[in-house]
Amino acid sequence: MKRNAFFQLVQKKDGVYLKSYPALHGGAPLSMEDIMQYLEQKKIMDVQLGDIAAFVEDAAQQKNAEKKILSEDRLPEKEFPLITIDPKRRFAKIRLYPPSNGGMRISSEEILDRVEQMGIKSGLLPENIKLMLKGRLYCTDVLIARATPPVQGSDAVITYHFDVDKTCKPAMDESGNVDFHQLDMIEKVSEGQLLATLQPADLGTPGTDVMGGELKPIKVKQLFLKHGKNIHLSEDGCEMYSDVPGNVTLVDDTVFVADQYEVPADVGPSTGDIEYDGSVVVKGNVLTGYAIKATGDIMVNGVVEGASLTTDGKIVLKRGIQGKGEATLQAGGDVISNFIESANVTCGGKIMTEAIMHSKVTAEDDIVVKGKRGMIAGGYLKTKTKIEAKTIGSTMGTLTELQVGIDPKIVEQHRFLEKEVEQLTSEREGLMQNVLLLKKRMDTKGKLDDEKMASLKKTGKRIQEIDTRLEENAAEREVLEVELNKKDNGRIIAENIVYPGVKMTISNVSNTIKSEVQHSAFVRDGADIRIRAI
């Protein structure tokens, strides 16, 4: 049986000695820290560190060693248990030290009394105490209490029973021309159709720490079926049904079902602005100065001029937008347009078009400029993922800026959390120094006055608060670092040519093209933007 080395206080006529007993079968050797910890607990303070170090060295070289540490008489020391509790209260352990010669042994009942006095209530292992005492396992950490861990639950899950990823991707013929007449933008539903089902979250079961406190399971994601008009839920809220025939869209986790509103000609003086809770189809044009606002999708067969189109769904413009610097498009989903000129476009999905000229374009997903022209010339384009075109920039040096990569908000939040760690760590170090000073004074004088005792408790509480916040901070940084450490921080692809003067920013790295580049992809590589052939 493996046994750690241990030491014993031995009373002799001329003073107090330390005596060593060797480790057996690979047990741990004596440590100076262990001896110092015991002497501190026993208020034996006037011992030279050099004597302790020499004793430990002698013990390592021979089976038994002795070293005189005091020249005074002391009462015999009883067998002594040192009980410690993990800071997170996940376990408690005991370290037993032998009695001095003439000292008494301690009983398991006495140890259990001390355990109770320390507030240890749950997960006790009394059989370990009995085995330790029976085997005289000195200078060895023995587990005496173990927390009951929580049972982790699981996130709620929503399953949608319709196509939530309608792309409105237009067909393309062999010549590279985009056919905006063949679009699949409407997801049809019938009355009574099941739209979604919810599997509720399992919250899990709390555990108990060794002090009897609750150990909460990791929080799970709670979800609910969210919907607009023309929809109802089952009594238990776990099934969603359509009340009417129409088309269904999913916007920000909310399901909408609506009939389609159709404008037979232009949106202009004859119609006024249009606001509709559903999808809108315009057979003609949308004239300058007019607006369409919808919760479903917007499809325009003609041209959009300097108008405003706002929707929670998709926008499809079969003949494009000639915005005259006044047009604004805001879509929760994709934007599909023959071309985009002199307009401000923002969407929560991707953008697909044949040309973007002198426009400000922002998308959550890819910006794809293909078809016969496939041209980006002038303006500012921004997305987190990918910008792809045939030609970027122009021979005239038109100012063209492209930005892809990580959301700057993520970088800013990560920097804030790192600074918070530095501040909290520095504060904790200062508080720990104060705690050590107060404990040393208490060991020396036997007690503290009321003011200093209150200060010690207040400092301990603040240290616990800091430790909790540091754990939360680490978890938050871990989530952000997954995003920051992704190798694919966005890319820019030019099938044909990129002209000089085009400015590219990938994540937080920028570069301005100095000479023509052909058939290339641009990616971030550390602090540089690299060009790769395609």
Name the pLDDT band for 217 (thresholds 50, 70, 90).
Answer: very high
Read off the pLDDT of residues 123-159 as tens digits, 9 standing for 90 and up: 999 999 999 999 999 999 999 999 999 999 999 999 9
Could you give the CA distance from residue 218 to residue 228 in angstroms, rounded to a whole number?
A: 32
Average pLDDT of the chain is 90
CA 187 to chain CA centroid, nearest Å? 34
> Which comes out higher in pLDDT, residue 436 or 143?
143
**C-alpha dihedral sign at 271, 272, 278, 284:** positive
Read off the pLDDT of residues 330-350 as tens digits, 9 standing for 90 and up: 999 999 999 999 999 999 999
pLDDT of residue 445: 78
pLDDT of residue 248: 86
CB 211 within 8 A of CB 240: no
Read off the pLDDT of residues 480-523 as tens digits, 9 standing for 90 and up: 877 766 655 689 999 999 999 999 988 778 899 999 999 999 99
What is the average pLDDT across 189-202? 94
Could you give the CA distance from residue 440 to residue 129 in angstroms, rounded to a whole number?
A: 30
Read off the pLDDT of residues 79-133 as tens digits, 9 standing for 90 and up: 999 999 999 999 999 999 999 998 999 999 999 999 999 999 999 999 999 999 9
Read off the pLDDT of residues 6-41 as tens digits, 9 standing for 90 and up: 999 999 999 999 999 999 999 999 999 999 999 999
Name the pLDDT band for 285 (thresholds 50, 70, 90).
Answer: very high
Residue 174, pLDDT > 80, answer no
Name residues whose C-beta falls within 8 Å of residue 18's C-beta, 6 or more positions apart in sequence.
7, 8, 9, 10, 35, 52, 55, 66, 67, 69
Q: For 408-484, CATH number?
A: 1.10.287
What are the extents of the domains in the chain? 6-146, 157-254, 258-406+488-533, 408-484
